[in-house]
Amino acid sequence: MKFPSISRRRAPALILGALAITAVGVASEMPKIDLTSGDPAAGKAIAMDRSKGNCIACHLIIGGESPGAIGPALIAMQTRYLTKEALAIQIWDATVKTPEAAMPPFGRHAILSQQELADVVAYVWSL
Amino acid sequence: MNKTHLMLTALGLVCALGSPLTVAGTPQEDQATFQNYFKQRFPHVPVDDFKNGAYALDPVGRENWEAIEEFPPYEAAIDNGKTLWATPFANGKTYADCFPDGPGIAGKFPRWDKERGMVVTLPLLVNECRVANGEKPYGYFLGPLAEINAYMAYESRGQVINVAIPADDPRALAAYEKGKEFYFARRGQFNFSCAHCHMGNSGSTLRTEILSPAFGHTTHFPVYRSKWGEIATLHRRYKGCNEQVRAKAFEGQSEEYRNLEFFMSYMDNGLELNGPGARK
């Protein structure tokens, strides 16, 4: 299932001109992460923490206070990602699947540690 | 998926698109595309209201802002700036000796200086005026330089942004292109470009904050931000944006920021200057 965000609807042509010269960060594959070790409660704390995951800044999460509206709502996640690993890859680096995604590459840029990533995956998977 | 879309995707760039497009070439074409993008995105916003940033989109925020504007928090900065403007340097000269047309000249900046081969901005020239008269330069982000520029911005209110990229100097176009590249390049640990928030997601919300449209960003500086509790320059804002995406900021009046200002101001051509401004 696809949830197009506002950013996907339309973009000005000039972006092309500018971006043709913009090098794209070299995509790196997600290393093997033990996703079974994820703790959903810890993941929730990270998802709500402004200095950590801060998922709530852009995504509606049921029960989360003042969510942003930039990314899709985090609901029915298991209907959208068939495996935890698929979800983890999306959080590791959303630009793998969606090169123009605004979402920060939480794994690739080491915004979260591997354990924190596993925790967030466990939490988001439960939504 | 059409060819253009494929190319965009392959390049891993900002914002996909739903409609066919052509590769933009000249700054004039960029400007038309840029301005039309926002006009179409926000069809209910009168064009001359884009100078008011997020308040052009948000009626509640606008009400608060208009209440704040009744006793403008930047008023003291204008007064201080006016005093500084009129106070002679140790050598007896004043800023008026550097700027014979008076303080209301913000509409002429930023501009390409062919002799120097660089973009010059008003804060840069104010500081250079000081140094040329044997005074110490001010910091470029806040304090007295921002105050003098607040006064100059106030005296320039109503002027229309009209940045030119002279065709007789290819370096001017190169500076514009560098500014544009800066604008659309991802940077920082968070991997955002300026455009990610202020084009593709403008009008959307980051938590409860409405992301302001890029069109109009340069009209109202220097700006008093309640968050700062003081008045500061456009380059101070750039620094904050860069740091927010966890990138290393550049120096005030660095070539990077001057070129960025050149590009952004050129995109804003036709809008009225309404600085100094007040923002959250």
Share the mean pLDDT of chain B: 92
Q: How many residues does this entry show for chain A?
A: 127
Q: What type of residue is B95?
A: Y
Domain tally, chain B:
2
The answer to whether residue B12 is domain-embedded is no
Which chain A positions have a beta carbon within 8 Å of B204's beta carbon?
6, 68-70
CA-to-CA distance for B245 and B213, rounded, in angstroms? 18
CB contact at 8 A, B219 and B274: yes
In this structure, what token pair is assigned to residue A66? 């003042």
Contact B186 A99 (CB under 8 A): no
CA-to-CA distance for B40 and B32, rounded, in angstroms? 12
Whole-Å CA distances, A97 to A10, A31, A35, A83: 19, 16, 20, 15
In this structure, what token pair is assigned to residue B104? 């209301």
In the annotation, is B241 catalytic?
Answer: yes
The answer to whether residue B271 is domain-embedded is yes
Q: What is the pLDDT of residue B101?
A: 98
Residue pLDDT, tens place only, B122-164: 999 999 999 999 999 999 999 999 999 999 999 999 999 999 9
Q: A31-125, which class in CATH?
A: mainly alpha
Residue numbers of the domain that contains B89: 75-155
Q: Are residues B229 and B259 in the same domain?
A: yes
B200 burial via Cβ count (<10 Å: 0-12, 13-18, 19+): buried
Give the list of residues 6+ apart from residue B200 with CB closer than 8 angstroms, or none. Answer: A6, A7, A8, A11, A102, B14, B15
Q: Whole-prediction pTM value? A: 0.88
CB contact at 8 A, B215 and B199: no
Q: What is the pLDDT of residue B3?
A: 40
Q: Could you tell me which residues are beta bridge partners of residue B111?
A: B120
Contact A11 B181 (CB under 8 A): no
Averaged over successive runs of 10 residues, the pLDDT of chain A (127 residues) comes to: 40 45 58 95 97 96 95 97 96 95 96 97 98
CA-to-CA distance for B98 and B258, rounded, in angstroms? 21
Which chain A positions have a beta carbon within 8 Å of B190's beta carbon?
104, 109, 111
User: What residue segments make up the domains of chain A, in order of their start?
Assistant: 31-125
